[in-house]
Amino acid sequence: MRPASDIEQAIAAYGDAVWRACLLYLRPADAEDVFQDVFLKFALHDAPFNDDAHKKAWLLRVAINACKDVLKSARTKNSSVEELTDAGREGELGAESDDAALGLREILDAMDALGDPPKTQLYLALYEGYTAREISQMTGMPEGTVYSWISRGKKQLREALS
């Protein structure tokens, strides 16, 4: 098990990125559970990381996989992903009438409407700033495929927002 100082440092350095990734997929209540699980897995993960970028990529990959697992289990309970997304968005942004909040809601809804891929690849590229080569290593996809998914995702996002 990792020392408490390592866990605290990881949460301070990468907690925001993990939280944003969780919210991209899940409503806030479920995102909190996944967030905690990710850092619990980190605490129990004894293997060393090559560098800070490797640590961040590992945390994000674990978070995204855990979110997908939650969504899969939600489907088996006969709840659609759209219903879960709508419920989370209403609780999160429903009371706000600010134009910025409406823009954010439209973007989040458009991202939610994307399939996976390209949702994960687009999120990692646009929001987290990873290169296609780094995303390729994280996802196990060929680099050219990652470029294609990012391009398709951008096109789909533009169409959804126009």
Residue 130 pLDDT class (50, 70, 90 cuts): confident
* Shared-domain flag, residues 72 and 124: no
Classify residue 32: in a domain, yes or no. yes
Classify residue 130: in a domain, yes or no. yes
What tokens does 132 get? 């296609």
* Shared-domain flag, residues 66 and 122: no
Predicted pLDDT at 80: 40
Residue 32 pLDDT class (50, 70, 90 cuts): very high
Classify residue 101: in a domain, yes or no. no
Better-predicted residue by pLDDT, 11 or 93: 11
CATH of the domain at 6: 1.10.1740.10
Q: Is the pLDDT of residue 99 over 90?
A: no
Tell me if 33 sits within 8 A of 61, measured CB to CB: no
Tell me if 128 sits within 8 A of 17, measured CB to CB: yes
Residue 103 pLDDT class (50, 70, 90 cuts): low
Tell me if 159 sits within 8 A of 148, measured CB to CB: no
Share of the chain above pLDDT 90, in %: 36
Classify residue 86: in a domain, yes or no. no
Q: Which letter does DSSP use for residue 127 in this model?
A: I
Q: Is the pLDDT of residue 156 over 80?
A: yes
Q: Is the pLDDT of residue 73 over 80?
A: no
* Shared-domain flag, residues 2 and 73: yes
Tell me if 60 sits within 8 A of 25, measured CB to CB: no
Within 8 A by CB and 6+ apart from 24, the residues are 67, 108, 111, 112, 119, 123, 127
Classify residue 87: in a domain, yes or no. no
Helix residue spans in the chain (DSSP H): 4-25, 28-44, 52-76, 81-93, 99-113, 119-122, 132-139, 143-161
Distance CA 18, CA 34 (A): 9
pTM: 0.59
- Range(s) of the domain holding residue 10: 1-79
- 160: burial class by Cβ within 10 Å (0-12, 13-18, 19+)? middle
